[in-house]
Amino acid sequence: MTHLEISGELTIFTAAELRQQLLEALGAGLDVEVDLSRVGEIDSAGLQLMLAAKQEAAGRKRALHFTGHSAAVCDALELCKLFGQLGDPVLVHSPS
């Protein structure tokens, strides 16, 4: 399994570079785990990249798992009603 960590932005400004990283990881022929715990900002391009990466992995018969969803990622998934669409368990933290 290949592990990737996304840190900082998952936005229109970083989506092309992150897409390339995800495609390279999937191209290695291994399953991929992407840690989102350090994502501080995400926009619709970031959500689109997550959905497209899942489709690409399925097309290659590879597993792609998003883990460690940050508060920013959880907020975006909730806002767009995408919880459950990616097929990965999400641990939702309550505010302290």
Extents of the domains making up the chain: 2-79
Q: Give this prediction's pTM.
A: 0.89
- pLDDT greater than 70 at residue 41: yes
Q: Is 87 left (phi over 0), alpha (psi -120 to 50) or beta?
A: left
Outline where the chain has alpha helix (H).
15-27, 44-59, 71-79
CATH node for 2-79: 3.30.750.24
Separation CA 80–CA 30 (nearest Å): 30
Mean confidence (pLDDT) of the chain: 92
pLDDT tens digit sequence for 14-37: 999 999 999 999 999 899 999 999
Cα of first residue to Cα of last residue in the chain, in angstroms, is: 34
Separation CA 22–CA 27 (nearest Å): 8
